[in-house]
Structure 1
Amino acid sequence: MNSTGVAIRIIVPLLLLLASTAYGAPAPEKDLTRLVQEGETYIRKWNISGASGKADAAIGLAETGEERHDAYYLKAVAEYYRGDYGAAREYAEKTLKAVRSGEKGEGDGFMEFIQNSVLKKPEFEEVKSEHFTIRYANPKDYIIAEYGKDVLEKSRFEIGLDLEEYPGDPVIVEIYPDLESFTAASTLPPENVEKTGVVGICKFNRIMILSPRLLPKGYSWSDTLAHEYTHYLIFLKSENTVPVWLHEGIAKFEESRWREEKRNVLSPFYETILAQALEKDGLVPIEKMHPSLALLDSAREAQLAFAQAGTSVGFLVDRWGNEGLTGLLEAMKARDDYKAALADVTGLDFDAFYASWKKYLAGKNLTEKIPGVKVKGIRISNTEGEKGDGSEDLVDIDNGKARGHTRLGDLLSTRGRLRGASYEYEKALGYDPGSPLISTRLASALHGSGDTDRALGILDPLMEFYPENVDIHLVLGRIYIERGNVRKAEESYLTAVSINPFDPEVHTALAAIYEKEGRTEEAQWERKVLDILTQKDEKHE
């Protein structure tokens, strides 16, 4: 799971126990029972090719209805995990028909889930890179799929080096076009998605994300892909033995590696909420993080859990090196007990490790770097509508007077009265100091009215505090273009793409940069993106 500034992304591991079900007198022991049991083990370890092979062999041996039930069950699960939804549904139906009328075998509820899930699946298209198959449904999400290939391949290389794990089979990534299909596929409750900000999940041997089209300002979908890919590697390397808190900690620790060499969880945002929690003795108990961070009480609690888990992994690597991290995953696979594995690697029991981690944080002298930081869930719309005037985010301003002055500033700005707009935004900040939403509006108005130096003075600290705020990068891109700093402009606009790739301004600017520099292929791609963004698709809009 990954975040939207305060949005979260979450992983919920599924340990399916595919039990052979006996009806009537028990059948004599034979190879079919062994094949199904071995297939169950392969499913748990996400060895899907192995599980499918065992299922095929079991189907060939099945004679009774009970035996066909178990063999078809294994095959249905294997095909669902493989991402072949047609085959999964076919074998799920065969499983349910193999039992006597009116009876259900153990786990047949999952067969019904497969049937319903497949019925609700979007009509996916695919793009492929060397190691990934990326599926999308809304035509505009093709943009994400194409940009995502680079993010995922870089993640495979860099995070693979860190965790010493490279999948042999192509990894399936699915971009969901609406909240309903995302929650149906992920099994996450819709209310938890919006409350805690879940936008991605690694489950059923695949990565699933919600399209950033559905959030007013997008979210850091690129880091989300890297975060969920890290979960995928953890599943494979540990053979599905890592608890949720550690899963999330490693994924948080690694999520920026595709773009940065240094791994660092302690951003100003996470430092601020950790400092507040330590001062108030308000850390999230590790036990509460199970079975999912998406089920915590609030976005703040979920983000705090990310900060705790991520810095605990940072502590592990700082003290015991990267070998400590890879060694812990290997020990987890061997022991299937995180406390015993942690003791093997560090020489500390869990209580001692936890106490040492708290001392490690205390030694960093954490401070509340972001005054008045707010942590909220996310707002999701299943219809894109006409966006771009900024009015949809006014609901995020809690103070009524600040909201009123901001609305007036927006009105003046749309009429070209930028000095008047700046005045209103400054008044709004008097009621809501430090608001990134109001501050970026002020910076944009100041730049538009010629006061670029003041605009930069506002944007510099915002960049450190709120790097996932796409408007900051848009305003910086305009300023750098105006000042002739093409490299910095390109960097700002590409960062904007990694958050919200559906803004035509970004691609218009990038196309102009590339055309001027003779980078024909890149310019053609940006023009293609603009064509996609201007096309109407009645099926999805």
Structure 2
Amino acid sequence: AVERDPQDALAFMELGHALSNTGDEAGGLAALQRSQELAAGRQNAWRHNTVKVLEAMQKRFVVEKGDGDLRYAWTPDSADVLRTYWMPFYFESRAELSQRYGHTPGPVVIEVFDRFQDFSVRSTGFEGFPALGVCFGPVVTSVAPQSELRGRFSWARTSFHEFTHVVHLGLSHNRCPRWITEGLATWEEENHNASWTRNMRRDLLDAWWNKDLIRVRDLNRAFRSNRILFGYFMSGQLCRMLIEEQGFAPMVKLLEAFDRGDDLDEAIGGTFGMTPEQLDARFDAWVQRAVEPLRIEPRWSAARTTALKFELDEKPPKEAGAARQWAEGWSSVAWGYFQQGRKVDAEQALRKLALVGELPPRALFLQGAVAAERNDNETAKQFYERGLAAGGEDYRIRIVLGEVAEADDDLEEAEKQYLAAERAYPGFPEEELSAELRLAKLYERTDRDEERFAALERWIRWESDNYGVRMRLAEHHAKAGRHERAVELFVQANEIDPFRRKLHRSWATSLVELGRHAEAAREWRVTRLVPPGLDPDDGEPLKDAAK
């Protein structure tokens, strides 16, 4: 286009876009600057922002060549540390993924931004993009571990996820639907490291009960909606089901089908022998089994609450089994109204349940919640205990009863309730309501260190991004002589924040204890390489003896 019309500002802008996203940042910048000149004052926000960030990269970044057709662009102050860990991590990830998919990608450049807004502009042209990494195929952009988001994400998890896209996009020549590549990348995260889970099981549970799982035909659209995060998780769960049932090889065949130009029906039918609707039905049944062990009241949508209400008769059936189902249905309606702030409607629905005699456990729990709203905590506790005694179980109820016991200084009862909560829903995603963390604090109060650290170990099984807890656990294990486990945790901490000399010193000490001297020497070297200004634990230069 620019050869045909060398005065076309739009053509030069699109050329700059394509060049910068395929690894030729210098060529891309030159084309965008030419576009600005030809535009003669006509502004374009994306072009303006992208020129600024590419110019900043030219001034601030160094580019280094790694193994395996990989190049890295990062700031000089971070280069020594990042080179030590990122280069082998990406090289090993490339080898692992290439072998699994039977496709080795060509040259790739990894751009690492120490300022989040620079990452956002480089990735989208605008600030405020809510992500940690982006893959254009031959280019991966990512947030550096020393950025403003420091200590709140795993750079290794992001890197593995994005490089998975490099393989998918290369294998399918960018023809696969987004839900396939995001679903496989999400599955790859957890397959590589179990703690790299997105832990949106509660959202999955809610979607199943509300009959709101995203259909396969609609799944791509979820990535352009307010359900984008759930789209990632559900796509990953769909891929998990397919891999569990059919093995991994068909997933590669699915990518190859899209590469051939097959549409959704042809690709799914040819690979799995079913229609998208049959795949939906299969996934519904799989999700039901997956969420069944999680004992917590769903968050009912207004639409599902209304639909349930009109599905139910006003009076219970005479047959006992049908009457129990009727009572469960009205319990769901009552809970839905209560959650939506319609307290009068909730109490009216509860009154209908009196027609079956003894209230089901979920209705007793709701009566407790209604009493708690009136600040009648004693009555609420009685209803909760009645619901449990009747065979009910609910994570939130256990947490509330644990809080009550702690307030009464009955720590034995509090422990019992928090342990029951953990059984009801291990790894609950909200940190402030985590049974594992509450148990850890309880054990700390009672000087039960081994149980405290065991509870923290169970918590990090579901949490990939917490540096501090991993360091405390690693130091605990090292002190007890369990250096193998300590090293595993030091590795995980380093995958969150490698710019802490305390981490590298402790890691080196455990490696020495294990006789892994070459690795220990690497850690001692990194201790010297971390710039003092990037170490939040110890900003002073190392003393001569430490060097």
TM-score band by shorter chain is: 0.5 to 0.7
C-alpha separation in 2, matches of 1:351 and 1:265: 32
C-alpha separation in 2, matches of 1:190 and 1:109: 11
Report if aligned partners of 1:136, 1:142 keep a CA contact under 8 Å in 2: no
- Cα deviation per residue 1:190-243 (whole Å; 9 max; x = unaligned)? 4451xxxx2111126311111233225331211111110111111111111122
- Cα deviation per residue 1:369-396 (whole Å; 9 max; x = unaligned)? 79999xxxxxxxxxxxxxxxxxxxxxxx
Q: CA deviation at 1:185?
A: 0.5
1:474 to 468, 471, 474: 471
Alignment of 1:64-463 (within 5 A): 65=6, 76-95=16-35, 114-121=50-57, 123-131=60-68, 132-137=70-75, 139-140=77-78, 142-169=80-107, 171-187=108-124, 190-193=127-130, 198-203=131-136, 205-213=138-146, 214-257=148-191, 259=192, 269-284=199-214, 290=220, 293=223, 296-297=225-226, 301-335=227-261, 337-364=263-290, 366-368=292-294, 432-434=432-434, 451-463=448-460
C-alpha separation in 2, matches of 1:145 and 1:288: 41
Name the SS for the 1:201 alignment partner: strand
Q: Alpha carbons of 1:525 and 1:363: their partners in 2 closer, same or farther (altered >3 Å)?
A: same
Residue identity in the other structure for 2:506: A
Q: Alpha carbons of 1:229 and 1:157: their partners in 2 closer, same or farther (altered >3 Å)?
A: same
* Structure whose alpha-carbon radius of gyration is higher: 2
State the partner residue of 1:45: none
Report if aligned partners of 1:129, 1:149 keep a CA contact under 8 Å in 2: yes
Report if aligned partners of 1:372, 1:434 keep a CA contact under 8 Å in 2: no
C-alpha separation in 2, matches of 1:159 and 1:522: 25
1:492 to 489, 503, 507: 489
- Cα deviation per residue 1:101-144 (whole Å; 9 max; x = unaligned)? 6899xxx9876565344234372123433122122226236423
- Cα deviation per residue 1:65-124 (whole Å; 9 max; x = unaligned)? 46x87986676455323433222222333456568x6899xxx98765653442343721
Residue identity in the other structure for 1:274: L
C-alpha separation in 1, matches of 2:463 and 2:229: 14
State the partner residue of 1:34: none
Q: Alpha carbons of 1:180 and 1:465: their partners in 2 closer, same or farther (altered >3 Å)?
A: closer
What are the ranges of 5 or more consecutive residues in structure 1 without an aligned counterpart? 1-19, 22-58, 374-401, 406-421
Greater CA deviation, 472-481 or 519-528?
519-528
C-alpha separation in 2, matches of 1:215 and 1:372: 32
- Cα deviation per residue 1:303-343 (whole Å; 9 max; x = unaligned)? 43222101111222233332211111111011252333112
Q: Alpha carbons of 1:500 and 1:335: their partners in 2 closer, same or farther (altered >3 Å)?
A: same
RMSD: 4.1
Q: Alpha carbons of 1:492 and 1:112: their partners in 2 closer, same or farther (altered >3 Å)?
A: closer
Report if aligned partners of 2:50, 2:125 keep a CA contact under 8 Å in 1: no
1:514 to 498, 508, 511: 511
Q: CA deviation at 1:450?
A: 5.9
Report if aligned partners of 1:440, 1:459 keep a CA contact under 8 Å in 2: yes
Q: CA deviation at 1:485?
A: 1.4
C-alpha separation in 2, matches of 1:371 and 1:509: 44
Report if aligned partners of 1:268, 1:369 keep a CA contact under 8 Å in 2: no
Number of aligned residue pairs: 411
Q: CA deviation at 1:348?
A: 1.7
Name the SS for the 2:461 alignment partner: helix
Name the SS for the 1:133 alignment partner: strand
C-alpha separation in 1, matches of 2:22 and 2:127: 25
Name the SS for the 2:60 alignment partner: coil
What is the TM-score normalised by the length of structure 1? Answer: 0.65
- Cα deviation per residue 1:469-494 (whole Å; 9 max; x = unaligned)? 33332222122112111111111111
Greater CA deviation, 430-439 or 503-512?
430-439
Question: Identity over the aligned pairs, expressed in percent?
Answer: 18
Q: CA deviation at 1:508?
A: 1.6
C-alpha separation in 2, matches of 1:211 and 1:434: 29
Report if aligned partners of 2:132, 2:142 keep a CA contact under 8 Å in 1: yes
C-alpha separation in 2, matches of 1:442 and 1:220: 28
Q: Alpha carbons of 1:228 and 1:292: their partners in 2 closer, same or farther (altered >3 Å)?
A: farther
C-alpha separation in 1, matches of 2:157 and 2:261: 31
* Larger relative contact order, structure 1 or 2 (CA cutoff 8 Å, min sep 6): 1
Report if aligned partners of 1:253, 1:265 keep a CA contact under 8 Å in 2: no
Report if aligned partners of 1:200, 1:208 keep a CA contact under 8 Å in 2: yes
Q: CA deviation at 1:184?
A: 0.7
Q: Alpha carbons of 1:440 and 1:532: their partners in 2 closer, same or farther (altered >3 Å)?
A: farther
Report if aligned partners of 1:266, 1:307 keep a CA contact under 8 Å in 2: no
What are the ranges of 5 or more consecutive residues in structure 2 without an aligned counterpart? 300-399, 404-410, 422-430, 540-547
C-alpha separation in 2, matches of 1:272 and 1:250: 21
Report if aligned partners of 2:176, 2:258 keep a CA contact under 8 Å in 1: yes
State the partner residue of 1:396: none
Report if aligned partners of 1:120, 1:184 keep a CA contact under 8 Å in 2: no
